[in-house]
Chains A and B, each alone.
Chain A
Amino acid sequence: MDIDAGLLPAFARGCAVLGSGGGGPVRIGRAAALQALEDFGPVRVVAPGALDPDTLVMPIGTAGSAEVMAERVGGTEEPLHLRAKIEELYGGRVGAVMASEIGGANGCLAVAWAARLGLPLVDADGMGRAFPRMDQCVMELAGLSPTPAVLCDERGRTVVIDHVTGPWLERLVRAALEAFGGQAATSEYVLRGHQVPAATALGTVTRAVELGTRLPDPILTGKIAEVGPSILVEGLGPDAGRLARVEAGSEYLAVIEDGEPVAAVPDVIALLDTRTGEIVPADEVRYGLRVRVLRVPCDPVWHTPAGLRLAGPAAFGLTGLPEPVAARRTAGDGGSP
């Protein structure tokens, strides 16, 4: 598969779904990807199994505030600076890039930067969705070292972080972000081709395109009835009479009906505005919106005990929440979504 200007809208929409209500402004990532595809041509998507075992794979993304990104939409040279420093630190040529985070703006930025570098994009990513912390990724679960990691801005000002664990990476990145004016391009958890199949969320580029082309059936169709500490969704049409509570932080975290979670982090929850057809970010939910509530299963690794410790409901302050019905069923079947 190649991602070109024609496939980009579906891919970007899939990234918005996988943002689970967060992950930054997709419209900016999408605009940056469109310009890069226009200027440099389509991006080849490579299957994880087809990578040469020794290929150096560079995860890429932007960290920072969505507000800053809305203004500082990014430049054209960040991926060049990242690659140069990663090649210097790891002693070899980067053979492919990968999205650190497929959900939200970063999925689209990976396409933009792959195009600018003339490198293939691995059909995988670090999260399979969006998460607020950099160490909430499959490479961390797989025990890979996040460092040496590289941060830089559009002008090539660069910071190298080394000899730290995932939580410390997060801590040092947040500190560096302030000096970077609230935004930096990053590469961390750099890996080799042979590590990709067991240490990433697989097939997520394809999955974003599929989701953007055909959304799953909603678990609830209704209207936003209240926006307070929780969001209430009142069922409409065939769902009249149902009432669900949506918990949200930077992302949507859980959908609870009759005391029972019908969807919960780490699974993806997306709200679709039925009037505009747009995916609604968690910070734009307001009373009266007619929405379809979608549940998209996350990568199964997130439902392991270690996955849930890193990015399950309790990691987001939701305590006493049983495993969602659907996830228990998935685990019981022993199948993957």
Chain B
Amino acid sequence: MDVGPTNTDAALVTRDGRVVATAKVPSAPEDPVAGVRAALGRLPRHELDGVAVGLRGAATAVTRRAGLRRVAVLRICGRSASAVRPLSGWPADLRAAVEAGAAIVDGGGGLGPEDRVPLDREAVRRFAGAVAGRAEAVAVVGLFAPLDGEQEREAAAIVRAELGEIPISLSADLGTIGLLERENATVLDAALSGFAAAVADGLAAALAELCPAAAVFVTRGDGTLMSLAYLARHPGLSLGSGPASVLRGAGALTGLADAVVADVGARRIRVGALAGGFPEVAVGGAEIGGVPIGVGLPGLIRVPRPFDPAELAEAVDRLQPAAGRLPLVVVGGGADAVPGGLHPEHGRTAGAIGAAVSPVGGQYERIVRLPDRSALPAATEAVAEEARAAAVRAGADPRHVEIIEVTDTPLAYLPGPFVRLRARAAGPPSPL
């Protein structure tokens, strides 16, 4: 399924990726579950193993500043990162919709264990007391948490003890090195917790009734899937998921792992790229609703309709990875308006097909100090293991999780041999 702003698409796809039937119905404003019900009803009746739903509501909530919870921000860094306050540089209206207090408390990590500063637990308690009654969710952001998330969990436990059950988002679950962007992503994640809980409950109830035997997943911005429980805990991961599943669907329908994809909608064309079967992420960081968030959203260029063919050609060329031109795949409800390129059958519902054929994903990143290159394989294996565990937590079948990407990037300007290791894992949905 793919719940878009205009239409909700559905596709019935076999285990080996063959498209049996598709359907397209108008989306119901503010009610993604209604669209899912209607579109599912248009498909031939079938015993479903699983349902994967692409939601664009998270991004819409942020851009419209609607349905967001008020978030209190706790940054654990002491004096090491206080030069820029939380929510600094946010558009005023989004800030007004989300802000519910912020504090910077002592603590935080560094590149090595000796850089760690003890958490000021008393200050965390004071923060919780100060935001009690105002905050509907809490974002906890620790310095270097992607290397060591222990203090974020410790602080979350204190906040929970003070405030009771309240949604708490931890930055280590969401982003990479880059404190301000990761903090922004964590705040939005917390702000979206109400939306995510409502959608997860609604989808679970509707689908339990319509196809009780099916496992239910939703799409995420990196082109993989996660369970409804995981969505409720990490709603920010669904940002960018709409375009991501369209890209994945275009790849599945053409058998291409690398391609430039034009998704032709009613009002605009979104051009993105597929690299190694997954969406190419935005270079230089992603932004949503006027806020840089740093997490790997698909890199897109938007061309308004009616379009200038030269402008579209330039956008397509910009997304080529190299001069050895990749094929252009044209999909989406308005694909007929764009001549040229590959127009695969069922391209009108590429987003739904992309959701159906995608694996469940997980990723992990850390910076390590490597005395020499011979230590790299062991360090990489540890990071890959964390990515594998993250995929399993998101709902992947642990027996079949595979590592789909491992990168190591040396860090410049440091005398020590520091390397950033990043791994992504994916596997089929768990049958449990």
Contact = CB atoms under 8 A, between A and B. Distances in A.
Contact of B318 (A64, A112, A289): A289
A249 B68 CA distance: 44
A226 interface: yes
A274 B88 CA distance: 27
Interface in B304-326: 314, 317-323
Chain A contact surface mostly: mixed
A217 interface: no
Nearest to B79: A75
B133 interface: no
Most buried by B among A63, A66, A74: A74
A64 B88 contact: no
Contact of A73 (B180, B322, B413, B418): B180
B420 interface: yes
A214 interface: no
A34 B88 contact: yes
A169 interface: no
B164 interface: no
A278 B323 CA distance: 23
A163 interface: no
B413 A64 contact: yes
Given A226-B323, A275-B318, A74 B115 contact: no
A287 B81 contact: no
B287 to A, nearest CB: 11
Contacts of A36: 83
Given A155-B80, A181-B111, A287-B321, A73 B179 contact: yes
A249 to B, nearest CB: 10
A77 B79 contact: yes
Given A287-B323, A289-B318, A67 B83 contact: no
Interface residues of A, number: 45
A79 to B, nearest CB: 10
A85 B409 CA distance: 37
B318 A290 contact: yes
Contact of A71 (B88, B112, B144): B144
A286 interface: yes
B143 A72 contact: yes
A80 B88 CA distance: 23
Nearest to A177: B415
Interface in B113-155: 115, 143-144
Interface string A25-45: 001100110111000000000
A68 B115 CA distance: 13
Contact of B82 (A67, A76, A226, A284): A76
B415 A250 contact: no
Chain B contact surface mostly: loop
Nearest to A171: B415
A74 B412 CA distance: 19
A112 B111 CA distance: 25
B431 interface: no
Interface in A38-82: 63-68, 70-77
A194 interface: no
20 contacts: A27-B292, A31-B84, A31-B89, A35-B83, A65-B418, A66-B412, A68-B414, A70-B177, A70-B179, A72-B143, A74-B83, A76-B79, A112-B83, A155-B79, A177-B415, A275-B301, A275-B318, A287-B321, A287-B323, A289-B318
Given A31-B89, A177-B415, 13 more contacts: A34-B88, A67-B177, A68-B111, A68-B414, A71-B144, A72-B143, A75-B79, A75-B80, A178-B414, A181-B112, A182-B111, A182-B411, A225-B323
Interface of B: 77-85, 88-89, 110-112, 115, 143-144, 177-180, 283-284, 292, 301, 314, 317-323, 367, 411-416, 418, 420
Top 10 closest pairs, chain A to chain B, by CB? A75-B79, A288-B318, A32-B83, A74-B83, A65-B413, A181-B110, A31-B84, A70-B178, A154-B79, A181-B115
